[in-house]
Amino acid sequence: MDEKKSTRLRRLTALCLGVVFLLVVVAATVYSQTGYVERLPLVTLAPIDWMVVPNEALYVNDDGGYRLYYVEQEDGPWGKRYILREWVVTGQRPDDENHTVVYEIEELPYPVITSLSAGEPADGMEVRLSP
């Protein structure tokens, strides 16, 4: 009889642990799809027209050079993630008052960011896309 009680107790313990684990996974999923995503900085994107980018996409480095950021899509644990990547500009010239020609960027297949809702952009920063 003690062996049956012991087996029942182990099964009940395993069941309780399974229920707790399931509740934690559900809570993490709900949080990641609502609260976490809503707290990410919002970015606005602009396409690259061959080698021409909007001036808003260029950020000045400490040394006076320029960099820009583009968004790369990755598979995350709960769906798609959007990550900022930095591109150091090695050469550029003005195209018109609103655009700049950035050399060697024609290979970049991603749109560049023109605005970020919070703070300065950084390589590897996770963001959400503006609608």
Cite the DSSP H helix spans in 1-131.
2-31, 37-39
Q: What is the pLDDT of residue 23?
A: 92
Q: What is the pLDDT of residue 80?
A: 85
d(CA 65, CA 90): 8
Q: What is the pLDDT of residue 123?
A: 93
pLDDT in tens, 38-95: 788 999 998 888 889 999 999 988 888 899 999 999 987 777 889 999 998 888 888 8
d(CA 125, CA 34): 18
d(CA 114, CA 44): 6
Grouping H, G, I as helix, E, B as strand and the rest as coil, residue 3 is helix
Q: What is the pLDDT of residue 85?
A: 94
The CATH topology of domain 41-129 is 2.40.420
Share of the chain above pLDDT 90, in %: 38
Average of per-residue pLDDT values in the chain: 87
Handedness of CA 104, 55, 42, 120 (dihedral sign): positive
Q: What is the pLDDT of residue 12?
A: 92
